[in-house]
């Protein structure tokens, strides 16, 4: 009778299999840890970009509706200001302006509203809306609407762009001439060929004389004495991300209500 031998693993084979299994589990665990870390980083970046896009869109909604011809009891209502009765974060500026706020649930700030953009003591980027001072009742208490745009903002800085000063009356005559010329072209009327005001020697000489006195370029403060709106506004925010201070983020917005025209020379 033939006896069959019993097959079994030796101790060395078992140890080798255990070592290979442990190595495989280590590789898989490290892989899944990296995937989990990248997933968390992606979610954090998405959340940060979503916050920044929300801030950009909300600031655009507010700043693009700033009024230029509104006058308060103290003059033009567009200027930078320091701390107001402990409302702001220490050492941080704020921007006070008047805007067209459209329809709002609070009827007191519908249509025309007074607003302040600032960092509060908790380092939150906020905008507060009040009723314009010309509409204030005798009561000292005023209802306000507070809106938090972003949290964990370390600092805020404003910069305002003033283009080189030019003779607006001559510029408007040139724009009116161009508009009339385009209108004639649309009506297919014959146009007498004359030297273009922008290319004629007289116009070139006039444009060289259009530079006026005053500041130009980017300025960091906008006092009430300016009595007008800048052409553009730049807002620099420094915020915290993942418990670390991130690089400043810059938003730039044109102000359509500004009388400061940016003119590009063709020559």
Query: Please, what is the Cα angle at 71 between 68 and 72, to 5 degrees?
Result: 130
Expressed as residue numbers, the domain containing 188 is 168-208
210-232 pLDDT, tens digit each: 333 356 789 888 888 887 888 89
Which tokens hold the place of 120? 């509060």
Residues 66 and 105 in one domain: yes
| C-alpha separations of 56 from 43, 49, 50, 52 in Å | 20, 10, 10, 6
Residues 176 and 79 in one domain: no
pLDDT of residue 53: 93
Q: 130 in a domain, yes or no?
A: yes
Q: 16 in a domain, yes or no?
A: no
Q: 47 in a domain, yes or no?
A: no
103 SS3 class: coil
Residues 115 and 189 in one domain: no
Residues 131 and 176 in one domain: no
Residues 84 and 173 in one domain: no
Residues 97 and 144 in one domain: yes
Could you list the beta-strand ranges (E) of 28-76: 71-72, 75-76
Alpha carbon of residue 103 to chain centroid: 23
147 SS3 class: strand
57-77 pLDDT, tens digit each: 999 999 999 986 655 544 457
Q: Is the pLDDT of residue 142 over 90?
A: no
Q: Is the pLDDT of residue 117 over 90?
A: yes
Residues 87 and 109 in one domain: yes
Question: For the chain, how many structural domains are there in total?
Answer: 2
Q: 12 in a domain, yes or no?
A: no
Average pLDDT score, the chain: 76
Q: Is the pLDDT of residue 124 over 90?
A: yes
168-180 pLDDT, tens digit each: 555 556 556 667 7
Handedness of CA 73, 75, 77, 83 (dihedral sign): negative
Residues 149 and 215 in one domain: yes
Q: 261 in a domain, yes or no?
A: no
> What is the C-alpha separation between 24 and 266, in angstroms, rounded?
69
Q: 89 in a domain, yes or no?
A: yes
What size, in residues, is the chain?
Answer: 267
Rg, the chain, Cα only: 32
Residues 175 and 77 in one domain: no
Residues 236 and 219 in one domain: yes
Residues 75 and 191 in one domain: no
Q: 217 in a domain, yes or no?
A: yes
């Amino acid at each position: 009778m033939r006896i069959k031998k019993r097959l079994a693993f030796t101790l060395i084979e078992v140890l080798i299999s255990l070592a290979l299994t442990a190595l495989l589990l280590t590789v898989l665990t490290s892989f899944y840890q990296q995937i989990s870390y990248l997933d968390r980083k992606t979610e954090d970046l998405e959340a940060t970009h979503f916050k920044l896009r929300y801030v950009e869109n909300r600031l655009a909604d507010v700043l693009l509706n700033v009024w230029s011809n509104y006058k308060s009891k103290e003059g033009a209502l567009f200027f930078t200001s320091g701390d107001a009765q402990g409302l702001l974060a220490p050492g941080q500026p704020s921007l006070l302006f008047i805007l067209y706020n459209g329809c709002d649930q609070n009827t007191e700030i519908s249509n025309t509203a007074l607003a302040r953009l600032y960092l509060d003591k908790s380092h939150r980027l906020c905008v507060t809306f009040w009723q314009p001072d010309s509409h204030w009742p005798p009561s000292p208490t005023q209802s306000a609407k507070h809106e938090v745009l972003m949290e964990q903002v370390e600092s805020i800085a404003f910069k305002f762009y003033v283009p080189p000063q030019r003779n607006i009356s001559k510029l408007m005559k040139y724009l009116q001439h161009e508009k009339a010329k385009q209108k004639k072209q649309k009506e297919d009327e014959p146009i007498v060929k004359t030297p273009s005001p922008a290319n004629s020697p007289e116009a070139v000489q006039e444009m060289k004389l259009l530079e006026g006195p005053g500041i130009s370029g980017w300025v960091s403060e906008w006092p009430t004495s300016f009595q007008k709106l800048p052409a553009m506004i730049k807002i620099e925010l420094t915020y915290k991300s993942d418990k670390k201070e991130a690089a400043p983020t810059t938003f730039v917005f044109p102000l359509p209500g500004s009388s400061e025209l940016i003119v590009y020379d063709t020559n």
